[in-house]
Each structure stands twice: as C-alpha cells, then as structure tokens.
Structure 1
Amino acid sequence: MDPRSYRDWTWVACPISLPPTVPASAVLHLPTLRVTGGKVRADVAYTHPVPKAKHAGHEVALGVDWGLNTLLTAGTLRLQQDGRITALGAGGQFRAAGVLAKQHRLRRQSERLHAKADHYQRLIGGDQQHDLAGKHALLRDEIQHVSARRTNLNDALAWSAARWTVDQAIAAGASVIYLEDLRSMEARGMGATMNTRLSQQVRGKIADRIRHLAAEHGIAVVTVPARNTSKHCPHCLTPLQHRKAPDKPTVAGWKWAICPNQPSCGWQGDRDHGAWRRIAARGLTHQNKTITDKTTGAMVIRAVVDTLEAAAVVTPTTTKISRTDRSKTGPTPRKPARPAPRRRRAPSPTRPHGRAGKRPEGHAPTDRKLPRAAHRHQNVTTTSTPTTGHQPRGATLGAGFHLHAHATPPRWETIPETYSDTGSLS
C-alpha cells in the first residue's frame, strides 16, 4: 500500500489479552508495536500504586545468606514486643548446582573459542584474503552465540532466585528482607577456582531482581554488614566450632557449626542456617540505622554498633529437652511371646451377598482408635546443606534450567527448633 492522503488511512482494532500478572487497577500506557518472526507484538507499559517500603518499624524480617553450593539460604525472625527475637520455622534453601554446572561448561567453551580465535588472528595477521579468514568469522559468530546463552542463563537464574526469595517473605508476612552485603563477597585474593565460582554467582543481578519484585509488595530490601555472620552463634554470640557435617563425614568442608558454650546454649546446625539468623537479627536490632544510599538508591546499614549487636541474639522458641543416655550396656532382654490377636466375640451378621461381599469373621473391629504411637509427634532432625547429593550430569551435557534448580517451597507453618544435651553428632 502507498497512502497518499488521509483518506487512504483507516482505523484498525487489535484486541490484546493482558496476562494475569497485570493488576486490574493498573493504568495502561501507549503500546509499542514491533515485528518479530513475522508477527506483530505489542509492548504495553503500565503503572499501578504500591505501598511504600519503610526504613524502620519492622517486626517480621527475612534474612538471606549467600553461599557457594547452596546459592541462597533464608529464614524468618520475629521481633517480640519485649525485645526478644524468635525464629519462625527452620528456613529454606535455593540450590542451583546443576545450573551453575551448565554455566561453568559454557564458560569453559567460551574460553576455548576465544583462545582459538586469537590463534587464527595471529596466523591471519592483516591479510583479509587468508584461507583462515572464513573460519575466523565463524568462530566470532559462535562466540557471540555462547555469550548470548550465558546471558540468558544468568537472567533466568537471577529471576528464579529473586522470585523464590520474595515468595518466602510474602508467605511469612515479612515487611523487610535483609541481604548480606555484596562488598564482602568480592572475588579476589581467594585463589583462581574460588574467584571463578564467586564471580559466576550473579549476586548483583539477584539483588536487583529482589528489589524490583519486593517493591511491588511494599517490602523493603536492606543490605547489612556480613562481618562474623557465620562465625558467631546466633543464640549467644559465642565463636562457633566448624567441622564436617555429621550426616556427611566423608565430604570435605566445614559446613557444620557447634556452639562450645555448654550446657547453657549448645546450638548446632548448618553454618548457613546460623548465618541467616545472624543477618536477620542484626537487621532488626539496627533497623533505626537504615539509610538510603544516594548513589544507588538502595537501603543499607553501613556499620555495626556494639551495643545493638549485643541484643542481636535469637531466643529459643522451645524449652531445652534433656535426654538420658540410651547406649547399650548389656544383652537385649528377651521379649515375651506375642499375644494372640483379638477375635470377634460374635459372628458376623447374615447379609445377602452383594458385589462387594461381606467381611469375614474373626477380624478385630475397625472402629477402635489407633495406638498412641501412631499419633505421637515426630521431631524434625536438622541436617546440613547438601553438597554432593545432586550430581549435575545432565547439566554438564547441556540439560535445561528448571531440571537443575531446587528450592524449598514457602513455609506456611512454623517448625519448632529442637535442642539436645548430647553435643556433636560427629
């Protein structure tokens, strides 16, 4: 068509179906049309009011700790009216070992392609008619393709981790998310292998995505200093003793933390779970020190005050249980013979035979209550963060993203903590 005047134009109505993520009260703006793959797509921007996040006055906070094998470990604390801080549940973990393995595979592939392209460039020199000029151009296209795959993988990982974190806060009713300061996680001076693993975690992208998603629900995101969050006990601030996990004695590392303050405290657990408790407790006690960074606009707590840090302890929500030593000291006594099962005292009533038949005689009645052991509460046993349980073989071969990202679902019920006088299990 070649329109020459206003009469040659006509109005066209294009119905657009909005996704359910767009709220009903949103104000739509003028769309932008673009042609992609032979189809016309519309980019529609919208705005909607959201509650303003506040700096202080928080009672329920979500603490988030960064990790290597476990990307995120998070849990919720509550600040009581009397100043005590208690834990709500046992926390959760976001593990992405398979995604990180795929990311590592793409990084190594990119490094090999760059080395090969540099070698071709040295052989070609300035001769554009060289026989290797065509291969060099193909390598450049392959490098761009691998770089795009790495970028898409990083974006998918960042959005998935951020969505999981915000969902944890919404499920627990938290009004603030306390993140560990990223400046303490800079990848330098820790060896080539550790520096590479730290740099591949895309923590900056995850933090930005968390702020974006949390702003829609009026949840504040504050960074706190990470000093001694994994070193001190979350219940008494005593320096912890780190050792191998009791359920994985053959795995290298020091993932298990034990408080030496016996018997008054004696807390033990995964060091990442102790870290998120320390981060959330530090944020709740220092929330009046929250400021807005003028450069980035993010909320931060810059320094730790010793007087406030002394109150950043988590009070146990359950009483300490003292268990007696049940170690075997002699032969096991013989148990009496099992008594005969109870039989029906009266024969079954006479009924006409139907398709379902009738119950045979001699069975115990089914209307009695189950024994007490069937209703007894089974306590939760704390285990360490899995480090080698997931074998990312599919990721190293190029499998998808969602097959290798494992996250704890939001907890809607609180799980009481358990304590023991038995000390270390290792």
Structure 2
Amino acid sequence: MLRSAKWRADLTAGVLATWPADPAKRTPWEWAAVRDAVPGGRDLPSSTIKSRTRQVRSFTEKHGRVPVDVFELETAPRAARLLLLSACDGQQATIERGDTPGRALLRLQLPTRPDPRSYAEWTWVACPISLPPTIPTSAVLHLPTLRIVQNRVRADLAFTHAVPRPLGKGHQVALGVDWGLNTLLSAGAVRLDDARQITASGAGGMFRAAGVLAKQHRLRRQSEHLRAKADRYGRLMGQDADHPLAAKHQTLTEELRRVSERRSNLNHALVRAAARWTVDQAIAARATVIYIEDLRSLEARGKGRSLNTRLSQQVRGEIVTRLRHLAAEVGIAVVAVPARDTSKTLPTVPHPAPAPPRP
C-alpha cells in the first residue's frame, strides 16, 4: 500500500508540475516534459497520464484550484482485514501437514487479552485446515494469509511444488490468443517449420461468454442505478441521522453491497473459465508457448459511451494473471506482445506466411 501511494504521489506531482495549457490535448513538448517529470515516465502508457490528468481537471472544476498533491486529490485508502502470517517467524506461527493427506495444522500465538503487556499473556492456538484437492501431496506448505469472509475465517494457503520448466526459445508450436467483446477470447495454433514459415493448424476456437457478459453488464447498470439513488438520498439526508429517508438509504446500501458481491463472483468465475479454456487449447494443440495481446495501454476512441464502458469493465488483467499461473503448472510459457500491427499479416491455410522479423 505504501509503494502504491508513493507511485501515485510521484505521478501526480509530475502531472501538476508540468500542467499543460490545454488539459484535453497536450503538445509533443508537453508530453516530453511530463514524461521527464515522472519517474519511469518514458515507459508509462499514455492512458495512465491522461487518466490522472482528467482526475486533476475534475478536482479543479469542482474546487476552482489545482490540488496540492495526491493526498488532497484522493481519499485515504482502506486497508483490507487481512493477517499476513508470511511475515511471522517460527516463534509466532507454524504450519505442518496432518495425519491425513487432506489436512494441515496451523499453530499461531494469539493474545489472551486486547492489550497484552507481557509474553505470558499470549498463548498457542491450533487451527486445523482442510486442504483442497488441488494441492499436491508432495507440495511444501507455507504460512497462509487469514481473512474474514461472512464472519468466517478463510485461509489463503500458498504452497510450492515442482513443475516443468517452460522453454525460453526454440518453440515450434504456439497458440495465439486474441481479445474480443462478445467473443471474449479467440485462439488458434500455428506451427513454425524449419524453413521459417508459419502455418495455421485448423480454424482455431472461440471462448464465447455473451450470456455471462450480458449478465455482467446488467448488474453493472443496476449497481450504477442503486449508487445514484443512494447518493441522492444521502444528499437529502445531510447530517440528520433521524431523517425519514434513513431506513431507505440503509436498504439501498445493503442492496448495493449484494449486487457488488454478485458482480465480483461472476467476474471470478469468468476469469477461471477463460484461463482454463485457453490452457486446455494449448495442451490439445501441443503448444509450448501462448502469445496474448498486451492491452494495458488500450485507448478506446470513437466507440461511444456504452461500448467504451463495456470495454473498460472486462477483467483482462485477472485473466492474464490466472493464465500465467495455470500455464506454469504444465510448463507452457506465456508471452504478452504489443497489440499494434498484430492483425495485419494473418497466416492462412494452405498458404504459409513468413515469420515476422522482430522477436
């Protein structure tokens, strides 16, 4: 959290120090100035600087002046209710496997009173943990992270086990993955022969999630409606806790929380399914590498307000993170490539295409 705050503080300071004459459109010299003022600005996507500029401009329009720094521009961050046991040593927490393969025993020291004053006011507590079947029996267990979910303590357990090492070069079969809107992912396998010719293997496949995405957008619109209504009630209530609208405001807030949880669960399910489908496609094609477009610097222009919102709501980053994790378990490398010019020369069957000159 501190590293994130430091990065946002440096970014905001660089944008404020080189505030352009027209925030909606920087000149080439103003772009060079802001990149020089931000640490690592030369490699920073333009969309990140534009987003921070819009945030500062909104603050200026609301208050009639520019903010002093990021601490005036943003509210205080919220810390998650987590207990990172990985930061503890063996004198505070230990974990070991139980007598059966699907059990583990977590032992940690907890205080016996809210304000412990000496070591005698701490005691060891044994917490049995049920291991999921996805953890191999030969894996080495590490101290988990404890979090509270619906008044129950959950353990995010980390483990280490040996996996095949992915190849760094010399790939002969690759799986190319392309992003879409209604068709979330499109994948096709290609083969590189000894003559440096790329040939597509079959017609490829598509991961269609139109139904899930439609439900996701419906929940997003419902969440936006509830948020706008709750904010309206909050402005009408002011500081009056006994206002007649207090009960309705509380009901809207609780319903908004439930809709947000449904959206999160739907996104997590979509991430797991999309990543699993992609890795299964690579395994079926006997590919040793997956190439996927890097859309972190994507800027949707001229698509309309509704379509831009749908593009920004897709969970691409979580899919790539999950994809890297699943691919590493089977020894498949995952390479993110710039999206620019990736659709200009497509290999077709039976006409091979030459391999691109760049690595």
Task: Confirm whether residue 161 of structure 1 aligns to residue 274 of structure 2.
Answer: yes
Q: In the TM superposition, what whole-angstrom CA distance separates every residue of 1:206-255 from its partner, at most 9, and x where no partner exists?
A: 1111112112222211112223333445359xxxxxxxxxxxxxxxxxxx
Amino acid at match of 2:213: L
The aligned counterpart of 1:335 is: none
Residues 57-76 of structure 1 mapped to structure 2, 5 A cutoff = 57-76=170-189
The aligned counterpart of 1:144 is: 257
Q: Cα–Cα, structure 1 residues 225 and 33, in superposed 2: closer, same or farther, change >3 Å? A: closer
The aligned counterpart of 1:220 is: 333
State which of 220, 224, 235 in structure 2 corresponds to 1:107. 220
Task: Confirm whether residue 200 of structure 1 aligns to residue 316 of structure 2.
Answer: no
Determine the C-alpha separation between the residues in 2 that align with 1:184 and 1:44.
33
Residues 13-412 of structure 1 mapped to structure 2, 5 A cutoff = 18-30=131-143, 44-183=157-296, 185-235=298-348, 282=356, 286=358, 289=359
Q: Cα–Cα, structure 1 residues 82 and 231, in superposed 2: closer, same or farther, change >3 Å? A: closer
Determine the C-alpha separation between the residues in 1 that align with 2:234 and 2:252.
11
Tell me how many residue pairs correspond in the alignment: 242
Q: In the TM superposition, what whole-angstrom CA distance separates every residue of 1:106-126 from its partner, at most 9, and x where no partner exists?
A: 011111111111221222122
> Contact 1:64/1:74 (CA < 8 Å) preserved in 2?
yes
Q: In the TM superposition, what whole-angstrom CA distance separates every residue of 1:59-80 from its partner, at most 9, and x where no partner exists?
A: 1110001111211000111111
Determine the C-alpha separation between the residues in 1 that align with 2:171 and 2:286.
11
The aligned counterpart of 1:367 is: none
1:129, distance to aligned residue in structure 2 (A): 1.8
- SS in structure 1 opposite 2:320? helix
Q: Cα–Cα, structure 1 residues 119 and 102, in superposed 2: closer, same or farther, change >3 Å? A: same
> Contact 1:162/1:210 (CA < 8 Å) preserved in 2?
yes
Q: In the TM superposition, what whole-angstrom CA distance separates every residue of 1:339-365 from its partner, at most 9, and x where no partner exists?
A: xxxxxxxxxxxxxxxxxxxxxxxxxxx
TM normalised by structure 2 equals: 0.58
Amino acid at match of 1:111: E
Q: Cα–Cα, structure 1 residues 36 and 211, in superposed 2: closer, same or farther, change >3 Å? A: closer
Q: Which runs of 5+ in 1 are unaligned?
A: 237-263, 268-276, 290-426
- SS in structure 1 opposite 2:214? helix
Determine the C-alpha separation between the residues in 2 that align with 1:202 and 1:36.
22
Q: Cα–Cα, structure 1 residues 60 and 195, in superposed 2: closer, same or farther, change >3 Å? A: same
1:186, distance to aligned residue in structure 2 (A): 3.2
Determine the C-alpha separation between the residues in 2 that align with 1:32 and 1:205.
20
> Contact 2:199/2:347 (CA < 8 Å) preserved in 1?
no
Between Structure 1 and Structure 2, which shows a larger proportion of helix residues?
2
1:18, distance to aligned residue in structure 2 (A): 4.2
1:146, distance to aligned residue in structure 2 (A): 1.1
Q: In the TM superposition, what whole-angstrom CA distance separates every residue of 1:270-319 from its partner, at most 9, and x where no partner exists?
A: xxxxxxx99xx65xx64xx3xxxxxxxxxxxxxxxxxxxxxxxxxxxxxx
> Contact 1:186/1:198 (CA < 8 Å) preserved in 2?
no
Q: Cα–Cα, structure 1 residues 22 and 186, in superposed 2: closer, same or farther, change >3 Å? A: same
Q: Rg bigger for which structure?
A: 1
Determine the C-alpha separation between the residues in 1 that align with 2:124 and 2:249.
51
Q: Which has the higher contact order (CA 8 A, sep 6+)?
A: 1
Determine the C-alpha separation between the residues in 1 that align with 2:237 and 2:127.
56
Q: Cα–Cα, structure 1 residues 113 and 63, in superposed 2: closer, same or farther, change >3 Å? A: same
Q: Cα–Cα, structure 1 residues 32 and 225, in superposed 2: closer, same or farther, change >3 Å? A: closer
Q: Cα–Cα, structure 1 residues 139 and 25, in superposed 2: closer, same or farther, change >3 Å? A: same
Q: RMSD between aligned alpha carbons? A: 3.5
> Contact 1:65/1:180 (CA < 8 Å) preserved in 2?
yes
1:204, distance to aligned residue in structure 2 (A): 1.4
1:200, distance to aligned residue in structure 2 (A): 2.4
